[in-house]
Amino acid sequence: MVHGLSDVQTENIGEGTSIWQFCVVLPGAVIGKNCNICSHCFIENKVKIGDNVTIKCGVQIWDGITVEDNVFIGPNVTFCNDRHPVSRNKNYVLEGVTVKKGAMIGAGSVILPGVTIGENAVVAAGSVVTKDVPANTRYLVKVGAK
């Protein structure tokens, strides 16, 4: 299902996937089956999203990002693919991000370029991920926790 108020330019969408209103998906993107792409998301060209992935509202998936099967990405997660962004820099170095199978990324997290989030890893809401997160681990930020 592609909502009528979205702009989906790719034909590479698996069966059973829902893309909700106000999403933009560029022509080169590949999205697997049974995914749920919530409203206000942007998916660039050089992106691969596996099967059974949930991407909550307000997430941008930029070129070079791979999301494997059964991943949950919380609302307003920010991915980065350029370590030294400069406006109109035609010579930037694209550094992808890989999110492995079964990983979960909490709301408002920031994932920096070149990072791999391992299989079944959990990234807590509000985290800033600057290095790889090993499989089956929890990357927790507890500022002000009681």
Residues with a catalytic annotation lie at: 84
Distance CA 19, CA 6 (A): 8
Backbone CA torsion sign across 141, 58, 41, 94: negative
Distance CA 11, CA 32 (A): 11
Burial (CB count within 10 angstroms: exposed 0-12, middle 13-18, buried 19+), residue 93: exposed
End-to-end CA distance of the chain: 43
Residue count (the chain) = 146
